[in-house]
Amino acid sequence: MPGRNALFIPGPTNMPAAVRRAMDVPLEDMRALDFPELTLGLFKDLKKIFKTETGQVFMFPGSGTGGWEAAITNTLSPGDKVLAARFGQFSHLWVDLCQRHGLEVEVVDVEWGEGVPVDIFGERLAADSEHQIKAILVCQNETATGVTSDVAAVRRAMDGAGHPAMLYVDGVSSIASIDFRMDEWGVDLAVSGSQKGFMLPTGLAIVAASQKALAAYDSARCPRCFFDFGDMMRTNKDGYFPYTPATTLMHGLRASIDLLLEEGLENVFARHHRLAEGVRRAVDAWGLSLCAKEPKWYSDTVSAICVPEGFNGNEVAKLAYLRYNLSLGLGLSKVAGKVFRIGHLGDLNDLMLLTAIAGAEMTMRDIGISVDLGSGVAAAQEYYRQTARPVDMPLAVAASM
Ligand SMILES: *Cc1c(COP(=O)(O)O)cnc(C)c1O
């Protein structure tokens, strides 16, 4: 098909040209004398993205799932109890990973479309007077349902209960796109991957650990080898790795971090919020609703949009791809067929989002869902226009507007 694929899944995301160019380099010796010039700067600047001064960042070859495994196996032992809520495919998979590593997971099942039940967590922690719970798992942004949870509130609940458990955050579809503050929120393990907010190909699991998490490493008995923090730390301190690192991706990561810091993290977050809000205005204009049940849970990186009764969201995504070369996210697991998703994270702007909204609108009409052509697009256009940043331009041009 001529023209470009419009990529609006919540990862992999669109890759900026500068990132792609940065990776167009020869392969290199990862033991070269000057290799640390690249890697030490990455470790330093990733801390800015995670907003940690005291934590330590790790880069493993892998994906977000590997990051989960690294976080768990380096800091816990089989039989350890962890508290987690399950409200979407990703929070479900993290629980599953913990169970397969022999952890005892106290699962709080929550309706899909809601987020972390902070009050229930608070009660469970208060009831755990013997401090059996070693870790609390929070999926900050549940990508399957488009739900963002309040990590700071979980930290307050932990402190309120005076509970010493560690706080683990899945930030795969949130870190580098929406607000995340490792030190301020007292996060002990933060997990991310390269192909979402970092706008890179899949291939890096990026994990940050607090000093408390690193102290837990010594007594943690989960089997680990590839993801061992200790092996990493022994070599990372000099800018090297215990095995062959993903050198090409690291050049891309350099460019990606430069773009993020140049735009400014707060501006990146504000951009994601605006783009998401435009999508939400469109959904409203279509007369449809989000899977996320309440505004406090609306995600600024992905919207899961409920299709009306009698229609299949996966058919929308399928036809959008076949007919318009538009990639939308499918509904996963429990919400398969009930929703389709628009990913709005990474290297995106207003007009790109209008493409996704227009394509979704056309496809829904094709399928027989009664939405007015142009309705969602117009709602988003109006919102983007009204909230567009002011631009300096020559007076003569401005006067003629
Ligand atoms: C994508 C994603 C993952 C899994 O990451 P992979 O890179 O696919 O292994 C985990 N958690 C969340 C919230 C995600 O969005």
Tell me: pLDDT of 83 over 80.
Answer: yes
CA distance 216 to 228: 13
173 ligand 1 Cβ < 6 A? yes
In a domain, 220, yes or no: yes
**198 lies in the same domain as 284:** no
Do 49 and 191 belong together in one domain? yes
The domain of 201 spans 17-262
The answer to whether residues 244 and 328 belong to one domain is: no
**190 in the same domain as 141:** yes
Give domain status of residue 395, yes or no.
no
Q: Is the CB of 193 under 6 A from ligand 1?
A: yes
- pLDDT tens digits for range 262-289: 999 999 999 999 999 999 999 999 999 9
User: Per-residue pLDDT tens for 36-45?
Assistant: 999 999 999 9
Domain stop point among 262, 293, 311 = 262
Distance 90 CA to ligand 1 centre (A): 7
Please state the rounded mean pLDDT for residues 184-192: 98
Segment 371-391 shows an average pLDDT of 96
Banded pLDDT at 1 (limits 50, 70, 90): confident
Q: What is the pLDDT of residue 230?
A: 98
- Does 326 have pLDDT greater than 90? yes
Residue of 65, 116, 139 with the most ligand 1 atoms within 8 Å of its CB, for mutation: 65
Q: How far apart are CA 38 and CA 197, in angstroms?
A: 20
Q: Measured from the CA of 10, which atom of ligand 1 is nearest?
A: 15
397 domain residue, yes or no: no
Ligand 1 center from residue 195 Cα (angstroms): 9
Task: Confirm or reject: Cβ of 14 under 6 Å from ligand 1.
Answer: no
Count of structural domains within the chain: 2
* CA 41 to chain CA mean position, Å: 23
Residue to probe by mutation, ligand 1, list 96, 142, 172, most atoms within 8 Å of CB: 172
Same domain, 196 and 303: no
Domain membership of residue 396 (yes or no) is no
Question: So what's the pLDDT on residue 265?
Answer: 98
118 and 253 both lie in a single domain:
yes
**277, two tokens:** 């809000």
Biggest alpha carbon distance in the chain?
Answer: 73
Q: Is the pLDDT of residue 396 over 80?
A: no
Domain limit, last residue, from 262, 278, 303: 262
The rounded Å distance from CA 1 to ligand 1 centre is: 29
Instruction: Give me the pLDDT at residue 123, please.
Output: 98
* Same-domain status, 218 and 295: no
Q: Would the pLDDT of 398 be above 70?
A: no
Task: Place 401 in a pLDDT band, splitting at 50, 70 and 90.
Answer: low
Measured in whole angstroms, the distance separating CA 398 from the mean position of its chain's CA atoms is: 39
- Alpha-carbon span 96 to 98, nearest angstrom: 5
Do 96 and 197 belong together in one domain? Answer: yes
Statement to judge: residues 338 and 256 lie in one domain: no
The answer to whether residues 205 and 58 belong to one domain is yes
177 with 57, same domain? yes
Dihedral sign for Cα 45, 47, 50, 51, please: negative
Question: For residue 143, which atom of ligand 1 is closest to its CA?
Answer: 15
Of the residues 173, 195, 198, 333, which should be mutated to test ligand 1's pocket, given the most ligand atoms within 8 Å of the CB?
173
Averaged pLDDT of the chain:
97
Residue 359 Cβ inside 6 Å of ligand 1? The answer reads: no
Q: Which atom of ligand 1 is nearest to the CA of 196?
A: 1
Q: Given a cut of 80, is residue 395 above it in pLDDT?
A: no
Residue 270 shares a structural domain with residue 234: no
Q: Helices (DSSP H) in 265-374: which residue ranges?
A: 265-286, 313-324, 350-367
For the segment 301-319, what is each residue's pLDDT rounded down to a tens digit? 999 999 999 999 999 999 9
61 Cβ below 6 A of ligand 1: no
DSSP code per residue over 152-221: HHHHHHHHHTT---EEEEE-TTTTTTS---TTTTT-SEEEEETTSTT-S-SEEEEEEE-HHHHHHHTT--
Residue from 9, 13, 63, 97 to probe ligand 1 pocket by mutation (most atoms less than 8 Å from CB): 63
How many angstroms is it from 373 CA to the middle of ligand 1?
33
Domain boundary among 262, 288, 319: 262
Please report the pLDDT score of residue 390 as a whole number.
Answer: 86
Distance 88 CA to ligand 1 centre (A): 12
Centre of ligand 1 to C-alpha 146, Å, is 13
Q: What is the mean pLDDT of residues 169-192?
A: 98
User: Over the stretch 350-378, which tens digit does the pLDDT of each residue have?
Assistant: 999 999 999 999 999 999 999 999 999 99
Distance 172 CA to ligand 1 centre (A): 5
Overall pTM > 0.85: yes
Task: CATH number of the domain at 166, please.
Answer: 3.40.640.10
Q: Averaged over 143-153, what is the pLDDT? A: 98
Q: How confident is the model at residue 389 (pLDDT cuts 50, 70, 90)?
A: confident
The rounded Å distance from CA 212 to ligand 1 centre is 25
Is 398 inside a domain boundary? no
